[in-house]
Amino acid sequence: MHYDLALPSGLMAALVPEIIVVSGAMLLLLWAVWRPESDVHQRNVAIGAAGVTLLAAAAVVYYMVSDASSGPGVIAVDRFRWASDLLFLLATLIAIALSSDFSKREGITTAESHVLILLATSGMMLLAAARDLIILFLGIELMSISVYVLAGLYRRSARASEAALKYFLLGAFSTGFLLYGIALVYGAAGSTNFTDIGRVVSERGFGALPMLQIGLALLVVGFAFKIGAAPFHMWTPDVYEGAPTPYTAYMAAGVKAAAFAAFIRVWLEAFPGTIEFGPPYKVLWWLAVATMVIGNVVALAQKNVKRLLAYSSIAHAGYILVGVLVATPLGASAFLFYLVAYTLATMGAFAVVIALEEVGERNQNVQDYAGLWRVRPWLAIAMAVFMLALLGFPIAGGMGFFAKWYILQAALDRSQFYLSVYLVLTSVVSAGYYLSVVMVMFMRPRAEGAPLPSRVPRATGIVIAATAVVLLVFGIFPSPVLRFARDNTITIAPPSAAASPRAGALVPAANSH
Amino acid sequence: MGYFYQINFYIFGLLAIASALAFVTRKSPVAAALWLVNTMFCLSALYIMMDAQFIGAIQVLVYAGAIMVVFLFVVMLLNLGHPSDIADMRGTWGKLIAAGIGVVLLAQILVIQRQRLPRIVPDVEAPRNVITGIAQPLFNEYLLAFEVTSVLLLAAIVGAVLLAKRRG
């Protein structure tokens, strides 16, 4: 199918998955406020939201299979977009399941939270699609505003309120950077469209446009805030710790993945060639190294599991940045594979945290997991799988190993020797905290008089089991996911093409006809 | 045209920057809000200089008018500022100047009403399609951005209500 984005009808047809999510969110909003708040109603709305997510996923799969393509326009219609969408919808589905159980336990009866998750998801899907800086900005805002509210939903605890306020203020601050960067890029290139910006960059040269350079620098700062890359990661641990755990999981997996998907498209389509040489590349290189080092080293000192996972997510942002830096199709497919493994492992780990924390979000210290193997063996095994997957351990860590392996392979393929060394060394450091969680669960005795963990709610249990099994199965047979990642990369031309006046590279291959 | 335009641009541009600086440095929220109104007026003048009369008018109506008034209402209801800070106009001179400006404005309105104004602009038909220039791109080129903005506002409203409602 070919879509002409210049016509409103073509644009609409190319946006059906997003339209499904947004209109589903609006209908659910009506339904959510129609009846008085109750736990049953909250659960029903959650089921409705899950249904909308599945419907949108079906639409995405249809577009993927029908090999949709488009003419030039404000959004991209390519396989990278559909693959990212599937990833976001998976994260959304898991977050809805977890938050429904969480709300029941904590006595939160607002059904609108599921609507906000859907709205945030529509923002993410727009981010993956955006080929225009305006749409990119609106997508980021739609996603962020919904998530700010979700972070502050649980207002009974002072920490959650602090986290929400911090997230909101710093998020608004980073939005300022992003917006100023967009304005400067527009001023220099005369367009907000990635393809047009890319044309200007390759025709006039990145070095000849100082305003564009400053604009790109500000864009990088804005994105670094959103993905939590050091030194712009300061908000991450506090916010991840204070926010309700299901939404923390959603932030760590979905929000981060969406910001990355948008970042990689901006980087590859709007600034081709700058990836190869020059200061922007070096800046990103140092950003990746600093993120890997700071995330992993500081995580060693963490006692609280949510903070530990927050620093772990910072470290993983560093690894993923390596995939972005290696701007080859191999790097982009390694990036996608990594995101799949990371999403599953992170969501699963947070699901275990939800299952083990009691009302009021207690029991969040690593020490509280001592002797878990004795009382809840399956939970302990699942948590071990997630930890080993995040570490990148072979076999027992499932897909995690291959995820890191492919990133490493892509980096070495471009003879990124030092980057690879940093990646391996910091991964070794990360064993220090991932394995300590495993050790505490299996080797420490249960504390005297520690009560049994309460029963795992059904949806949370399903999420934990499913993510662990999928991680393990695809860890043994990684080829389907690898094929998925390889088929759905953002197609870019070899580096030499960027030097040609009109790099055909700017338009992914699927759109070339 | 050239010099006049340049001078006006610098006057309004510098005034806008100065007002924005005053806006972020004032301690009293009311004074800050009033400085922001001034910034909006200067920006509106800049829009009009760029032949975007409609946006200029909207800028005054929506930002300086509606939004800032609501903002001031909230500030005054919360009773944040002290009355002495709110009273910007102090002393006899201030009052006299204000009264003078008021008289001039009133006189202008009366003169316009009686059509005694000398015509400095030649008798041409006023451009009727000022808004077309905004409407065309808004509903063609930027259609998606326009629609997404409405979803964004919906999310913001739902979020604000949700946070305000939960006083647990």
Q: What is the pLDDT of residues A320-339, one digit of tens each?
A: 998 888 877 788 788 889 99
H/E segment holding residue A183: helix A158-189
> What does the pLDDT read at residue A202?
84
CA distance A30 to A11: 27
Chain A residues lying within 8 Å of B145, measured CB to CB: 74, 132, 134-135, 138
pLDDT of the residue at A395: 83
**Closest CA relative to residue A23, chosen from B36, B48, B151, B119:** B151
pTM: 0.86
B151 vs A contacts (CB less than 8 Å) = 22, 119, 122, 142
Tell me the pLDDT band of A499, cut-offs 50, 70 and 90.
Answer: very low
Inter-chain residue contact B166 with A155, CB threshold 8 Å? yes
- Rounded Cα distance between A299 and A250, Å, is 20
For chain B, list the domains and their CATH numbers.
Answer: 2-130 (1.20.120.1200)
Task: Give the HSE-up count for residue A106: Cα atoms under 13 Å, Cβ half-sphere.
Answer: 23
Q: Where are the alpha helices (DSSP H) in A376-510?
A: 377-391, 399-413, 417-443, 458-476, 479-487
Q: Do residue A139 and residue B148 have CB atoms under 8 angstroms apart? A: yes
Q: ∠A344-A346-A352 over CA atoms, to 5°?
A: 100
| Residue A6: φ, ψ to 5° | -75, -25
Mutate to test the interface with A, among B150, B151, B157, B163 (most CBs of A within 10 A): B151
- Nearest in space to A201 (alpha carbons), one of A181, A126, A193, B84: A193
The amino acid occupying position A301 is A
Question: Tokens 């509210």 identify what position?
Answer: A149
Q: Average of pLDDT values for A470-497? A: 75
At A172-214, the pLDDT tens digits run 999 999 999 999 999 999 999 998 998 888 888 877 888 988 9
> Looking only at Cα atoms, what is the longest distance across chain A?
72
- Determine the residue among A112, A136, A156, A168 to mutate to test chain B binding: the one whose Cβ has the most chain B Cβ atoms within 10 Å: A112
Which positions 104-163 of B are in contact with A (Cβ < 8 Å)?
Answer: 142-145, 148-149, 151-152, 154-156, 158-160, 162-163
Q: Is B77 on the interface with A (CB under 8 A)?
A: no
3-class DSSP assignment, residue A304: strand
- In chain A, the residue whose alpha carbon lies closest to the alpha carbon of B137 is A6
Chain A interface disruption, residue of B148, B149, B150, B157, most A CBs within 10 A = B148
A255: which DSSP letter?
I
Taking 50 as the threshold, does the pLDDT of residue A508 lie above it? no
Closest-CA distance, A210 to chain B, in angstroms, reads 24
Separation in Å, CA of B166 to nearest CA in chain A: 7
A153 with B167: Cβ contact below 8 A: no
Which residues in chain B touch residue A153, judged by CB atoms under 8 angstroms apart?
A: 162-163, 166
Alpha helices in B50-142 (DSSP H): 53-58, 68-78, 83-86, 91-113, 132-139
What 3-state class would DSSP assign to A111? coil
Which amino acid is present at A288? A
- Do residues B124 and A115 lie in contact, with contact meaning Cβ atoms separated by under 8 Å? no
- Can you list the positions of beta strands (E) in A52-117? 69-70
| pLDDT for residue A383 | 94
Q: How far is B68 from chain A (nearest CA, A)?
A: 20
Q: How far apart are CA A512 and CA A238, in angstroms?
A: 45
As given in the structure block, the two tokens for residue A368 are: 């509280």
pLDDT, tens digit (0-9, with 9 covering 90-100), for A82-114: 999 999 999 999 999 999 999 888 888 888 999
From the list B152, B156, B162, which residue is nearest A138 (CB)?
B152
Give the per-residue pLDDT at B71.
82
Tell me the nearest-neighbour CA distance from A64 into chain B, angstroms: 22
CB contact under 8 A, B148 and A29: no
Element spanning A3, H or E: strand A2-3
3-state helix, strand, coil in chain A (%, to 5): 75, 0, 20
Contact A116 B159 (CB under 8 A): yes
Supply φ then ψ for residue A348, to 5 degrees.
Answer: -65, -45
Q: Residue A511's pLDDT is what?
A: 39
- The mean per-residue pLDDT over the stretch B116-128 comes to 59
User: What pLDDT, on the 0 to 100 scale, is given for residue A4?
Assistant: 85
Interface of A with B (CB under 8 A): 8, 11, 15, 22, 26, 29, 74-75, 110, 112-113, 115-116, 119-120, 122-123, 126, 132, 134-135, 138-139, 141-142, 145-146, 148-149, 152-153, 155-156
Phi, psi of B27 (to 5 degrees): -85, -40
